[in-house]
Structure 1
Amino acid sequence: MEIYQLRAFVTVAQQGHLTQAAELLHLSQPAVTAQIKAVEEEVGMPLFERSAGGVTLTRAGQELLPRAQAILGAARELLNHARGLKGQLSGRAQIGVTLTPELLRIGPWVAALSERYPLLELRLQHGVTGDVLNLVRKKELDCGFYLGKNPYVNVNAVSLAELPLCVVVPPGWEARADLGQPKELGRLPWVGVSQFSSLSKITAELWRELNISPKKVAECDHLSTMLELVAAGVGAALARRDGAEPLAAQGRVTILPDYHKSAELLFVYPSERVGEPVLSALLAELAPVWGLDPDTVARAGAG
Structure 2
Amino acid sequence: MEIYQLRTFVAVAQQGHLTQAAEILHLSQPAVTAQIKALEEETGLALFDRTTSGVMLTEAGKLLLPEAEKILAGSWDMLNKARSLKGQLTGKLRIGTIGSPSLLRLGRWLCCLRSRHPLLALVTAHGISGSVLNDVRKKELDGGFFVGKNPYQNVFGLPLREVRFRLAMPAEWAVRLQGADWRSLGRELWIGHSQFSSLHKLSSELWREHNISPKKIGEIDQEATQLDLVRAGMGLSLLSEEVVAEPLARGEIALVDGVEVTAPLAFIYPAERENDPLLQAMRAALYEVWELPA
Q: What TM-score range do you get, normalising by the shorter chain?
A: over 0.9
Q: Is the 8 A contact 2:157 2:267 kept in 1?
A: yes
What SS does structure 1 have at the residue aligned with 2:96? strand
What corresponds to 1:279 in structure 2? 279
Is residue 5 of structure 1 aligned with residue 14 of structure 2?
Answer: no
Q: 5 Å matches for 1:64-103?
A: 64-103=64-103
Q: Is the 8 A contact 2:195 2:219 kept in 1?
A: no
What corresponds to 1:61 in structure 2? 61
Paired with 2:23 and 2:264, the residues of 1 have a C-alpha distance of: 69
Q: Is the 8 A contact 2:178 2:256 kept in 1?
A: no
Paired with 1:215 and 1:70, the residues of 2 have a C-alpha distance of: 73
> CA offset at residue 175 of structure 1?
4.1
> CA offset at residue 7 of structure 1?
0.3
What SS does structure 1 have at the residue aligned with 2:171? coil
Paired with 1:6 and 1:121, the residues of 2 have a C-alpha distance of: 36
Paired with 1:38 and 1:246, the residues of 2 have a C-alpha distance of: 68
Paired letter, 2:106? I
Paired letter, 1:4? Y
Structure 1 residues 10-62: Cα deviation after superposition (integer angstroms, max 9, x where no partner): 11011110111111111111111111111112112221111111101112212
Paired with 1:100 and 1:89, the residues of 2 have a C-alpha distance of: 28
Paired with 2:246 and 2:239, the residues of 1 have a C-alpha distance of: 12
Distance 1:179 1:186, change over 3 A: farther
More deviation in 155-164 or 255-264?
A: 255-264
What corresponds to 2:256 in structure 1? 256
What SS does structure 1 have at the residue aligned with 2:200? helix
What SS does structure 2 have at the residue aligned with 1:11? helix
What corresponds to 1:119 in structure 2? 119
Q: Is the 8 A contact 1:154 1:270 kept in 2?
A: yes
Q: Is the 8 A contact 2:191 2:218 kept in 1?
A: yes
Q: Is the 8 A contact 2:171 2:251 kept in 1?
A: yes
Distance 1:3 1:245, change over 3 A: closer
Paired with 1:6 and 1:174, the residues of 2 have a C-alpha distance of: 77
> CA offset at residue 178 of structure 1?
6.9
What corresponds to 2:137 in structure 1? 137
What corresponds to 2:14 in structure 1? 14
Q: Is the 8 A contact 1:179 1:185 kept in 2?
A: no
Q: Is the 8 A contact 1:178 1:184 kept in 2?
A: no
More deviation in 149-158 or 126-135?
A: 126-135
Q: Is the 8 A contact 1:180 1:258 kept in 2?
A: no
> CA offset at residue 174 of structure 1?
4.5
Give the structure-1-normalised TM-score.
0.92
Gaps of 5+ in 2: none
Paired letter, 2:200? S
Paired with 2:84 and 2:233, the residues of 1 have a C-alpha distance of: 59
Paired with 2:193 and 2:293, the residues of 1 have a C-alpha distance of: 34
Structure 1 residues 172-214: Cα deviation after superposition (integer angstroms, max 9, x where no partner): 4354357542111111011111223221111111111111111
Gaps of 5+ in 1: 295-303
More deviation in 166-175 or 120-129?
A: 166-175
What SS does structure 2 have at the residue aligned with 1:192? strand
What corresponds to 1:159 in structure 2? 159
> CA offset at residue 232 of structure 1?
2.2
> CA offset at residue 291 of structure 1?
1.3
Paired letter, 1:221? D
Q: Is the 8 A contact 1:167 1:256 kept in 2?
A: yes
Paired with 1:171 and 1:292, the residues of 2 have a C-alpha distance of: 38
What SS does structure 2 have at the residue aligned with 1:75? helix
What corresponds to 1:210 in structure 2? 210
> CA offset at residue 244 of structure 1?
1.9
More deviation in 185-194 or 82-91?
A: 82-91
Give the structure-2-normalised TM-score.
0.95
Paired with 2:66 and 2:249, the residues of 1 have a C-alpha distance of: 63
Q: CA RMSD in A?
A: 1.6
Paired with 2:172 and 2:5, the residues of 1 have a C-alpha distance of: 81
What corresponds to 1:233 in structure 2? 233
What corresponds to 2:148 in structure 1? 148
